[in-house]
Amino acid sequence: MNTVIDGILTNYQLVNPQAKKDCLVLHGWGHHSGLWLNLCSLLNNQYRYILLDLPGAGGTHFLPADKNDIPEYSKFVSHFLAKLKIRKTIIIGHSFGGQIATHLCVTQPGLVTRLILISPALIRRKTLSQKFKIYLYSQFQPLKKIIPHFILENILKTVSSSDYYHSSPRHKSILKKIVNFDLTNLISQIKVPTDIIWGDLDKEIPFHAKYIVEKLPQGRLRILYGTGHNPHLTDPDNLKDVINQSLP
């Protein structure tokens, strides 16, 4: 389905469209709403699941180049909910989607009634390993003109994150902003019940789950054993059970 939000053509999908209670699903970086259709078809059918393609993903156009950081994504989502006349909703947010959901929950109290966050990218403080990779990447920039392209590509693939390496130039410009948007100081301001779900084999996001839950006034940690960063794709049956237990 398509609509227009703030002048941006926006794509979304509905599962259980006749249900009375709403649950918004926000996908992770490099993903799109279609990757959540299978999982949402397995979830509690008392909810209408709204699967939104975030700007620059799936069938939704990009935000303006000067308005594409987390606050702007958060505002876009709130305007989308207003367009659909949704005044209160649960949000399932995965990774980058969890980052947006958290910002929205804190900055617009009352709109979000519960959070279900899967490996949320809330803490963006760089580890020593990440700082070292950034340093290495900066050192290779002057070598672009003298090192053969295929060699340089292999080097950059090693020192860059997977998300960054596989992104288009436009996506890379956005990624540089969102990976530096740290929400650590907002975690304790989340006033709604919040479940943090994390795969114990997740290699994409540093394991901050225990720290996050300790800061949450109403937080609960659920670990998916034997699962990585994308359990909606690799372990939907187990993730379905955990999410259904989290839905009120």
**What values do phi and psi take at 166, rounded to 5?**
-90, 5
Express each pLDDT in 152-200 by its tens digit.
556 455 544 555 445 567 887 888 888 889 999 999 999 999 999 999 9
Q: Which of 49, 193, 31, 206 is nearest to 120 (CA)?
A: 206
- In this structure, the answer to whether residues 214 and 155 fall within a common structural domain is no
Predicted pLDDT of residue 143: 54
**What values do phi and psi take at 222, rounded to 5?**
-125, 120
Full residue range of the structural domain in which residue 145 is found: 126-180
Confidence (pTM) = 0.85
Q: Looking at the predicted structure, is the pLDDT value of residue 148 above 70?
A: no
pLDDT band at 141 (very low <50, low <70, confident <90, very high): low
- In this structure, the answer to whether residues 100 and 45 fall within a common structural domain is yes
- In this structure, the answer to whether residues 117 and 160 fall within a common structural domain is no
Q: Which of 136, 158, 180 is the last residue of a domain?
A: 180
* Average pLDDT of every residue of the chain: 88
- In this structure, the answer to whether residues 208 and 108 fall within a common structural domain is yes
CATH code of the domain containing 18? 3.40.50.1820
Average pLDDT over residues 203-231: 93
* Alpha helices by DSSP H, 123-235: 128-140, 149-159, 162-165, 169-178, 209-215, 231-234
Residue 213 burial (CB count, 10 A): 17
Point out which residues pair with 145 in neighbouring strands. Answer: none
Block residue for tokens 């070292």:
132
- In this structure, the answer to whether residues 117 and 138 fall within a common structural domain is no
Predicted pLDDT of residue 207: 84
DSSP 57-120: STTPPPPPTTS-SHHHHHHHHHHHHHHTT--SEEEEEETHHHHHHHHHHHHSTTTEEEEEEES-
Alpha-carbon distance of 208 to 210, in angstroms, equals 6
- In this structure, the answer to whether residues 73 and 109 fall within a common structural domain is yes
Alpha-carbon distance of 207 to 229, in angstroms, equals 11
Express each pLDDT in 49-100 by its tens digit.
999 999 999 999 999 988 899 999 999 999 999 999 999 999 999 999 999 9
- In this structure, the answer to whether residues 44 and 110 fall within a common structural domain is yes
Specify burial of residue 168 (Cβ count, 10 A radius: 0-12, 13-18, 19+): exposed
Predicted pLDDT of residue 66: 87
Q: How far apart are the first and last CA of the chain?
A: 27
Predicted pLDDT of residue 238: 97
Domain count, the chain: 2
- In this structure, the answer to whether residues 107 and 14 fall within a common structural domain is yes
pLDDT band at 147 (very low <50, low <70, confident <90, very high): low
Q: Which of 103, 106, 120 is nearest to 27 (CA)?
A: 120
- In this structure, the answer to whether residues 87 and 187 fall within a common structural domain is yes
- In this structure, the answer to whether residues 201 and 101 fall within a common structural domain is yes
Predicted pLDDT of residue 164: 44
Q: Which of 163, 180, 197 is the last residue of a domain?
A: 180
Q: Which of 180, 208, 225 is the last residue of a domain?
A: 180
Inter-residue contact 119 to 52 (CB < 8 Å): no
- In this structure, the answer to whether residues 112 and 142 fall within a common structural domain is no
- In this structure, the answer to whether residues 131 and 89 fall within a common structural domain is no
